[in-house]
Structure 1
């Protein structure tokens, strides 16, 4: 199924015979129509480096099923979580071989997953392995992400926060008792946080992309739960323009006041259920500048992920959250009635008037 949506255009309104005193004679009228913005944890991660490139070079059933989900919703801007980073190779192959080349623009970058810290972060007495990486992963780039766009991306203006140190967040939940003397070396983002500016017919839309760590797979110290909370807080503080933040180029501060944005990604935090620290996702949802369209599917409400029953069960963890200056036309969780899905997450979209 395809969706044909005309994009915003600017028309010069000319009136033949109008006098120069007519205030409408030389007026430029901006005519806009919605664009669809989506997030999808497509589970396009593989157990070894390079396998995703190999899979996408040929015909892979799971990748084809994920592409079919994307095609059924036809987003204009799309964040894909759990897409192994391999430079531009896998990104281009997925677009060309599976998405019919619909996305002439994309952004991807290195992430912390699988990047060896050289420290014993999991405290097992040994160095190396996925638990000692800056973000849990078998190899550098596993569980990465990519932004696809039908509109130009201002790549020179992208901001990334891969290297921001957890200790530099004021009043953070950093569990120093657990990490001990290596606490000050820890990076906060388990993958990365990106601000990707997209030019939508002369208007800049900031795509704020992230994928915080699951608040699970730890012990009573709740190190992953606390990291998930503070990764979400990084996004909230960025939207609020916090001065303490610095990006990977050393530029300080958050989002410019009044900028249009949409926050996207698998946040691994449900507003009510699951293992996340209480109030974690509310840090964003409760911001005055953030709209929550609360998209739904017919049979599963606002839930976006189909996890193991009975615990944690279905959860709402994937979000499309636009700024309050944008008009939300419609939104949905795409949860088709089928026995098998290519991912344990569902695609979420919102139609926005830019």
Structure 2
């Protein structure tokens, strides 16, 4: 009933318009709580560059990674205010507490010490450091958001937890409390002119910065694999249509350290399609790290029933010329896709 009412209230002409969904690791994390809010409220050049990237691409629904979370969502609301002043209005926001910086009393990273950023459920200098957020032009069904972030790693069907010398690493106690999501896994329903869209968003741990036990590599693989398990019914009811996986997997299909097959296997899931967005120069690269170079690690994977009208990476213009704001905003590049659904044709 809610979806029908929302569609009736939307302008008739808008019902035929594709929905633009974007994913962007904007790297809006700071070294301490409250610092992001301070930077958003003042003339911070990186924040302004992020705003410029978003106003240039104008997504209808934005999955944002790398934004510090606070209890009252003050930073997110301040960012939305800045965007509104720049002509891009997101009246609907969602951000729950992530696992990043959520401290435990155990040594979770196996460094022999407790109380460090690696001993939180997800690496973080403070609670909420580098969380997720969803910004939308269209209503978010907040009461129906499904948050999978509390799922214990050991409880994911088929999970592989790290060992050393045949024993749980770093400890059996750590395995008993370790959550799978390094930041979060959410399913966020959004009521759009193309029908209800379930945004399945996440940000996986980097598969590096560990030892031969490959704790981070195994965790990264299972964070990505969670979506296949969900779609196959292994974690309860799953969306069957009109959904999209959006986020930073921290894994290239072919290059670099990590279990690259994890993202390739996700591409092959029969419920999904890969639009393979590229920038104006024809490159599929979504991040450049100084130490390792170019990688494709950010993804938008719509369900197979969507019609992909267009897709792209905001990094160069149509002539391949660099976009200055994109380079100032983040090492990551905003990716976007325009979606329509066969059931929502004009006049229906």
Could you state the TM-score of these two structures normalised by the residue count of structure 2?
Answer: 0.87
CA distance, structure 1, for counterparts of residue 272 and residue 305 of structure 2: 9
Contact 1:9 1:30 in 2 (8 A): no
Partner in structure 1 of residue 307 of structure 2 = 327
Q: How does 1:108-187 map to 2 (within 5 A)?
A: 108-176=95-163, 177-182=168-173, 183-187=175-179
Contact 2:15 2:194 in 1 (8 A): no
The runs of 5 or more residues in structure 1 that have no matched partner are: 1-7, 12-27, 246-252
Structure 1 residues 240 and 191: alpha-carbon distance in aligned structure 2, compared to 1, 3 A threshold: same
Q: Within 5 A, what are the aligned runs for 1:188-227?
A: 188-201=180-193, 203-227=195-219
Aligned equivalents of 1:50 and 1:29: distance in 2?
A: 42
CA RMSD of aligned residues (A): 2.1
Q: Deviations over 1:35-60 (max 9, x none)?
A: 11000000000000111111112221
1:290 maps onto 2:272 in alignment: yes
Could you say which residue in structure 1 is the equivalent of 2:238? 255
Give the secondary structure class of the aligned counterpart of 1:179. coil
Higher helix share: 2
Aligned twin of 2:38: 54
What's the CA shift for 1:293? 0.3
CA distance in 2, matches of 1:294, 1:47: 34
- Structure with the bigger RCO (C-alpha within 8 Å, sep 6+) is 2
Supply the distance in 1 between the matched residues of 2:40 and 2:204 (Cα, whole angstroms): 26
Partners of 1:119 and 1:300 in 2: how far apart?
A: 47
Specify the alignment match of 1:94 in structure 2: 79
Q: Which has the larger radius of gyration?
A: 1
8 A contact 1:53–1:93 mirrored in 2: yes
Q: What TM-score comes out, normalization by structure 1 length?
A: 0.86
1:30 Cα shift? 11
Please state how far the C-alpha of 1:304 moved relative to its aligned partner.
0.4
Q: Report the more deviating stretch, 75-84 or 178-187.
A: 178-187
Residue 313 (1) aligns with residue 293 (2): yes
8 Å CA contact 2:278, 2:313 repeated in 1: yes
Alpha-carbon separation, structure 1, partners of 2:200 and 2:103: 26
Secondary structure at the aligned position of 1:213 is classed as coil
C-alpha offsets along residues 151-193 of structure 1, whole Å, 9 cap, x if unaligned? 0000000000121001112221211432221212211000110
Deviations 1:244-299 (A, max 9, x none): x3xxxxxxx1413x231011001101111121213111232110110100001133
Displaced runs of 4 or more, over 6 A: 8-11
Gaps of 5+ in 2: 1-5, 317-321, 342-348
